Structure 1
Amino acid sequence: MRLVPLECVKTNTIIGKTLYDSEGRILAKSGLVLTQPIISKMKDIQIPAIYIIDEYSSEEIDDIIKPELRQEAISTIKESFSNINRITVADKFSKKDEKYFNNIQDMAENLIENILNNKNVLLSLVDIRSMNNYLYSHSVNVAVISLVLGIALKLPKRQLQYLCIGALLHDVGETFIHNEILMKDSELGLEELLILQQHPTLGYRYLSDAYNLSSHSKMIVLQHHERPDGLGYPDKLTDDKINNLSKIVSIADAYDTLSSGRPNKKAMFPSDVLEYLMSNAGRMFDYDMVNTFCKIVIPFSKGTLVELSNADVAVVQETLPNFPLRPIVKIIKSSNDNIINKEINLIDETSIVITKVVYDL
């Protein structure tokens, strides 16, 4: 199974992973042969890419959480966020909101248990989402990524609970931002950017009266865009002033945004996302946390087609621990017929690097 941009998908392609619409209903089941009407429907709801099965990638990639739990979590976030009054933050958190946020706390428990019971806690699957459902899917994915990093950092379960709830709610302030800004398909102007940057404060103020939410979770909502170098927002805090759980969510938020894209920005090449995080470690992100994160991410899942710096095309076979950008690959296209089907460990072949992901041969 491999991820392919929708514009590269052809009719008669086999879907590798079940797709859902913005209401959580099944749009296309795994194993379905795609027709043009189905592809058109996917374009209509702004699905950027899908997983497919072909001769190079027949094996399924398991999500780190159960698909049905992911959809349930998205629905929980959507229901909760949709009931927030968009008109003014002067309306304080009220009793009517409590049931929705109790549901979020219950969902956090389910996510934690699901991930803790997963023996292979590595990040490899990109969540396929409709841009119409971006905020809710993003919130769930950031929670999942944060938990995986939190587990790798050996956080106790109570801290994981605070972390997961805060991650699920980290963008709750965006419900007070006009949708034209959130879904704009071009770069934001300065005034729009300043409005968007209000969302941590707006979310924190809204949650300030939610007494059943931990202060640690609320602090994540407020601080997830702060930076160790003091150039973040809203309060330009420096490293020692930023809550450690907020630092985790900052990394997860950036990773998910960059790897899956936004309405006004295409997804980045997997290795470029890791390079971005590593090059900004110590400035935008916590240095030690980024180092740990890069050891638990698989940017090139098994079955991914890649072009190498020597112009050969290969299919990824395996990624070894601590070397996410140097997988074992099998050559499937080369000017040298003698190396077709030969496996190469890029840890040993230091002169060869992956230059891009290939979607069609």
Structure 2
Amino acid sequence: MRLIPIEISQNFYLAEDVYDVKGSILIKKGAILTDNLCTRVKQNGISSVYINDKYSQTIIEPLIPQSIKYELTHKLKSLFDSLRARQVGKSSVKLSMNLIDDLLKLIDDLEYEIAGRPKNYIDFIDIKSRETYSYEHSVYVAVLSYILGKFSGLNPQDLRNLLIGAIFHDIGMAYLDETIFMKNGKLDLQEFVKIKEHPQLGYEFIKNQVFANSFIKVITLQHHERLDGSGYPNKISGDEIHRLPRYVAITDIYDAMTSDRPYSNAVPAHNAIDYLMGAAVDKLDYKLTKKFIDKIMPYPVGTIVKLTNGVIAVVDAVNENMPRKPVLRRINETTKDLTDELIKLEKEYSIEIESVVFSVDSL
């Protein structure tokens, strides 16, 4: 299966169920994507889908079961809605213990799923709706942070703190005008200044919660701080930044860039990786960023690519040791059919992947 924009997905077979903003199945996998179905998908704020075609029949397992994702998304939205309704500003608030308890139980389920994940790399980009981006983003930042923590050898308690802290890292957004972070367009300077208040607002909420220890609190407060002092809210730098928020800083950027947000479209994984490498020079923890990038497969099996020599090919196998050098299977330029010719990029020193291709017929 491969991920393509919904605009060019007509007449393809859907490889994964598509869910609406409430977490109900909108279209079942196996359906042929008619114009009408594509319109329904777009109406739910979804701009990409996984499809099966002659170039890709391989199943890529999601990072977590969709049922857990949507349960967590629903509970987080309920928490955000509750905080907005109370209009508590920067003060603490008493919430329904059932809501908090339900969230913590779901976090237990989430930890169980990702702790037992057999893959030693990440090759799946989840489809998110613009309508529920804020909540789904928190779930996937938590998942990616936990996985990065595992790759880095964190102990179980650190992993637990990282998971919970990442789930709540953007809770301060609940205290902002929803029209700002749901704005369909670029934020102006005044709006961006307001957005930069959310780590402090989140900290003011989380610091008085019984379940939150000092590690969870510092993740909420410091996940937008940068090593060179250019971050926010307190512009701290270097060793002033705790080790756990450094994980969330990396995964927060990656998930945001590879997701459709109300104010911007997703970018391909390899572009997000390029950005992270640039930021690792002085803003992000270099060793952690390198560890994360080494485990991201920017070209999953089934991805169609154009090479610098003009050849079009499909990814036949990922390369865990050299993620940007997968094994490819050439596509015949005339017939557009798959050939038996394999291209092992790790042995082709003068050839690189130039771009991702979504429609072979247009070439």
- TM-score class, shorter-chain normalisation, is over 0.9
Q: Which runs of 4+ in 1 moved over 3 A?
A: 333-337
1:174 is matched with 173
1:191 is matched with 190
The answer (yes or no) to whether the contact 2:128–2:260 under 8 Å persists in 1 is no
Cα drift, residue 168 of structure 1: 0.6
2:317 is matched with 318
The answer (yes or no) to whether the contact 1:294–1:322 under 8 Å persists in 2 is no
Give 1:127-276 correspondences, 5 Å limit. 127-276=126-275
1:351 is matched with 350
Is 1:6 aligned to 2:3, yes or no? no
- Letter of the 1:202 counterpart: L
The CA deviation string for residues 189-217 of structure 1, in whole angstroms up to 9 with x for no partner, is: 11111001111111111122112211211
* Alpha carbons of structure 1 residues 85 and 184: separation in structure 2 relative to 1, 3 Å: closer
The answer (yes or no) to whether the contact 2:330–2:342 under 8 Å persists in 1 is yes
Cα drift, residue 39 of structure 1: 0.9
SS in 2 for 1:27: strand
Query: TM-score under structure 1 normalisation?
Result: 0.95
Unaligned segments of structure 1, at least 5 residues: none
In 1, the alpha carbon distance for the partners of 2:104 and 2:158 equals 13
In 2, the alpha carbon distance for the partners of 1:163 and 1:103 equals 18
In 2, the alpha carbon distance for the partners of 1:91 and 1:227 equals 26
SS in 1 for 2:42: helix
In 2, the alpha carbon distance for the partners of 1:122 and 1:99 equals 35
2:98 is matched with 99
1:331 is matched with 330
- Letter of the 1:4 counterpart: I
1:284 is matched with 283
- Letter of the 1:302 counterpart: V
Is 1:88 aligned to 2:83, yes or no? no
- Letter of the 1:238 counterpart: S
Number of residue-to-residue matches in the alignment: 358
In 2, the alpha carbon distance for the partners of 1:70 and 1:17 equals 15
The CA deviation string for residues 266-305 of structure 1, in whole angstroms up to 9 with x for no partner, is: 2222211111111211422100001110111111110011
In 2, the alpha carbon distance for the partners of 1:350 and 1:78 equals 49
Cα drift, residue 17 of structure 1: 0.8
In 2, the alpha carbon distance for the partners of 1:250 and 1:140 equals 14
1:298 is matched with 297
Q: Which segment drifts farther, 181-190 or 285-294?
A: 181-190
In 1, the alpha carbon distance for the partners of 2:109 and 2:286 equals 30
Unaligned segments of structure 2, at least 5 residues: none
The answer (yes or no) to whether the contact 2:297–2:320 under 8 Å persists in 1 is no
The answer (yes or no) to whether the contact 2:5–2:47 under 8 Å persists in 1 is yes
* Alpha carbons of structure 1 residues 56 and 335: separation in structure 2 relative to 1, 3 Å: closer
The answer (yes or no) to whether the contact 1:304–1:316 under 8 Å persists in 2 is yes
- Letter of the 2:6 counterpart: L
Q: Over aligned residue pairs, what C-alpha RMSD do you find?
A: 1.8
SS in 2 for 1:285: coil
Cα drift, residue 105 of structure 1: 2.1
Cα drift, residue 335 of structure 1: 7.5
Query: TM-score under structure 2 normalisation?
Result: 0.94
Q: Which segment drifts farther, 217-226 or 62-71?
A: 62-71
- Letter of the 1:227 counterpart: R
1:54 is matched with 53
SS in 1 for 2:124: coil
The answer (yes or no) to whether the contact 1:64–1:121 under 8 Å persists in 2 is no
The answer (yes or no) to whether the contact 1:204–1:218 under 8 Å persists in 2 is yes
1:360 is matched with 359
SS in 2 for 1:74: helix
Over the matched positions of the two proteins, sequence identity in percent amounts to 33
